[in-house]
Amino acid sequence: MTKHPQRTALILVDVINSFFEPGQPNYYPAVESTLPALERLRDVARERDALLVHAVERHHRGLDDFEFGKLPRHHQRGEHDADFFPGFEPVDRDREIVIPKRRYSAFYATDLDLTLREQSITRLIVAGVKTNVCIRATVQDAFAGGFEVVVPREATNSNRPHLAEASLEDIERYFGAVVSLREAEEML
């Protein structure tokens, strides 16, 4: 088996229309401030041939889902709100993959852990939305699985800023590191 020297992967979480397109159900204006950082991380990962994981919430159309007990039906396969936000569609390259998820964490009931281990990935840069929900859940599960976790401050936020700040504080204290965009770029 061929080993790739890159040990860091970028996980972009839920960069989909639902959060980033004005008028969609989960859109909030402050999310737009994350786009330059997300674009930069995406571009650097591609330039350096780092593994780029698009972890996106995708529920089965027409089927019940436990998550719908907390939130209205959303992000069903084939629906516009679940589509990638323009510019963040995966490109056709070997080290860029899509991991559909049905829970907040990109690890729960997906093959993300196995995929990362097979690629000898040891460090994850986690970016996207929302800091206090999907980012935090993904970071916590990554830490529990033994991955070094990094969250670039400029590349995540929430429509509940106080919860985003509390989550970043917890991530820094208990699960990983919160760094600047520049520091994250250097790690890719």
User: pLDDT (tens digit, 0 to 9) for every residue of the chain, 188 residues total?
Assistant: 445 557 999 999 999 999 999 999 899 999 999 999 999 999 999 999 999 999 999 866 886 776 666 665 566 677 888 999 999 999 999 999 999 999 999 999 999 999 999 999 999 999 999 999 999 999 999 999 999 999 999 999 999 999 999 999 999 999 999 999 999 999 99
Domain parsing of the chain, residue ranges:
8-187
The token pair that represents 144 in the structure block: 């529990």
Q: What angle do CA 60, 66, 67 make, to 5 degrees?
A: 80
Does domain 8-187 fall under CATH 3.40.50.850? My reply is yes
User: Cα 23 vs. chain centroid, distance in angstroms?
Assistant: 22
